Amino acid sequence: MNGHRKTSTRREFLVQTGCAMALAPTLVANAATPSLRCPPVISGNLWWYHPDSYSLEQWRTMLLNQKRFGFDLLWLSNVTSALDTEEHIAKLRGLMDLAETLGFQVILDTGFTGNWFGHRDLKRELETCGATIDKIGALFGQHPAFFGWYIPHEIYMAWGDFAEYIDQLYSALVKRCKAAADKPVTVSPFFILDRDETFGTFRYNEPDEYRDFWEKLLKRSGIDILMLQDSGEHFSYVTNTMRHPFYEAMLAACQESGATLWGNVECAEFVCESPEKYVELYGKVHHVTVKNAPWRAVPIGRMEEKLTLAAEYCERIVTWGYQQYGMPSLGEKAQAWCRDYEAYYKRLGRSSVRM
């Protein structure tokens, strides 16, 4: 997924490196039909974490800012960076304690090796991730703020030998997590909309195929929470009509398997009006290769539409993109986005409870 200073997509960031909600009466009154499974608001953001990136006081300021518009979850990746020295462990412990004080839950990732999807060395991957899992369990397994685990090996679907690898990997990681600390285990898959191989030779899957694959994988692995990315290929031309079949497919997979569906409603996007315009401007290349790509925070009207759709299917909503495009410290555009989102949040009159 990248470091908080560098622009990158969520998938590039990963390569490089059932909580219930109560609706306030005002939200019920204002909610659009059909009925919603959760408030159409963000609980928290995926963070690329490093213990030296921010001081504890900076974290306090950031979390208090986020708390104003309803964030109550810290979802951390690159946690291995905090497990290498006693000083770094102390910094992560300080953040966990701060999260508890401010009413934030924390999800911690299991780590991964470089090119995990390429080398497909199950023994190597499990040894690396297992060491991280065991250390987190020993250090933070009983911490009150520790909500759950995150497996960062991100896919949409898999076929053949890769599917077998994923099946074994996910199942073993869930088992190792549960042994270290019996907390919910999460994953955050994506879906693709590219039928024409505009962005690479990625095999397209129909929503029904997607549902069947994930139903079986969730059953076999024992994953508790699936946080579905809503962006397709991250473009601003992606509509709710395009997203809808994949939410339906994944909700069905979760219901059949006993997992809980959360939404990962991304608040950053690559600005482009259509696939045809993309090819005209950049050619048939993956968007991570585009120099000076026109990324932005998702405009609040569009964000509201995305959140409302997710709330029709999901029990809770998280996001990616806030760290890269929404934090007030990033400048005027980010500050304006935060003001817009806070106004939207307050307009809903949302309240929440934690399980």
What pTM, to 2 d.p., does this model score? 0.90
Is residue 45 within 8 A of residue 71, CB to CB? The reply is: yes
**26, pLDDT greater than 80:** no
- Residue 184 domain-assigned (yes or no): yes
Q: 16: which 2 tokens?
A: 């490089």
Instruction: Tell me the one-letter amino acid at 301.
Output: G
Residues 6 or more apart whose Cβ sits within 8 Å of residue 263? 227, 228, 230, 247, 307, 310, 311, 313, 314, 316, 317, 318
Q: Can you list the alpha helix ranges (DSSP code H) found in 258-299?
A: 275-282
Q: In the chain, what is the greatest distance between 2 CA atoms, to the nearest angstrom?
A: 54
Report if residue 73 sits inside a domain: yes
Q: Does residue 199 carry a pLDDT above 60?
A: yes
pLDDT higher than 70, residue 188: yes
pLDDT of residue 23: 35
Q: What pLDDT, on a 0 to 100 scale, did the predictor assign at position 122?
A: 98
- Checking if the pLDDT of 15 tops 70, the result is no
The confidence band for 309, taking pLDDT boundaries of 50, 70 and 90, is very high
Per-residue confidence (pLDDT) for residue 355, from 0 to 100: 30
The H or E element spanning position 249 is: helix 240-257
What band does 100 get if pLDDT is binned at 50, 70 and 90?
A: very high
Mean pLDDT score of the chain: 90
What is the per-residue pLDDT for 181? 98
Band (21; pLDDT cuts 50, 70, 90) = very low
In a domain, 329, yes or no: yes
In tens, the pLDDT along 120-154 reads: 999 999 999 999 999 999 999 999 999 999 999 99
pLDDT > 70? residue 200: yes
- What pLDDT, on a 0 to 100 scale, did the predictor assign at position 10? 45
Axis crossing angle, helix 300-313 with helix 240-257, rounded to the nearest 10 = 30
> Percentage helix, strand, coil, to 5, in the chain?
50, 10, 40
Q: How far apart are CA 161 and CA 174, in angstroms?
A: 20
- Domain assignment present for residue 27? The answer is no
Q: Please indicate, yes or no, if residue 351 is contained in any of the structural domains.
A: no
Number of domains in the chain: 1
**Which pLDDT value is given to residue 349?**
81
- Structural domain span for residue 181: 37-345
Number of residues in the chain: 355
In our burial notation (b when 16+ CB lie closer than 10 A, e otherwise), range 56-89 reads eeebbebbeebeebbbbbbbbbbbbbbbeeeebb
Between helices 207-221 and 160-180, what is the axis angle to 10°? 40
**230 within a domain of the structure (yes/no):** yes
What average pLDDT score do residues 300-318 get? 98
The pLDDT value recorded for residue 33 is 52
Residue 110 belongs to a domain with what CATH number?
Answer: 3.20.20.80
- Residue 34: the pLDDT is 67
Domain contains 197: yes
Residue pLDDT, tens place only, 259-271: 999 999 999 999 9
Assess contact for 98 and 60: CB atoms under 8 A. yes
Residue 7 lies in a domain: no
